[in-house]
């Protein structure tokens, strides 16, 4: 086998390994004293933190690339505003508004 083909196979196998590594997300929850409810609660919390539910919701239907860009941009704006709001609140510039006082 030529050195070029060996290098190509190595790169290809490395790429496949990276894909598999990203695809496999192992979450482990320990069940103590046969308490399934507590274990399910812990599992749900871990999956929520990992973003599995959000990704499942997004993959439920096809999202056009333009829609994906718009959604990501809106999320970035939301995150930036939230960060600025928290920063201003920490500096004492803004008092936290109660959630019930928001107009509908």
* Cα distances (Å, whole numbers) of residue 76 to 79, 80, 81: 5, 6, 9
Closest C-alpha among 63, 61, 45 to residue 53 = 45
Cα separation of 101 and 95, whole Å?
Answer: 13
Instruction: Give the CA angle between residues 33, 37, 42 to the nearest 5°.
Output: 95
Supply the pLDDT for residue 16.
47
pLDDT of residue 9: 47
pLDDT tens for the chain, 104 residues: list them.
555 555 444 555 555 445 455 556 678 888 899 989 999 999 999 999 988 899 999 899 999 999 999 999 999 999 999 999 999 999 886 666 666 655 65
CA dist 76 and 53 (Å) reads: 19
């Amino acid at each position: 086998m030529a050195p070029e083909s060996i290098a190509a196979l190595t790169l290809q196998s490395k790429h496949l390994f990276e894909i598999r590594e990203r695809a496999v997300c192992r979450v482990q929850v320990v069940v103590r004293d046969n308490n399934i409810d507590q274990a399910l609660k812990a599992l749900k919390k871990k999956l929520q933190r990992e973003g599995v539910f959000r990704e499942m919701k997004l993959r439920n239907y096809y999202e056009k690339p333009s829609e994906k860009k718009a959604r990501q941009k809106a999320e970035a704006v939301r995150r930036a505003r939230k960060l600025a709001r928290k920063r201003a609140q920490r500096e004492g510039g803004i008092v936290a508004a109660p959630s019930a006082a928001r107009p509908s």
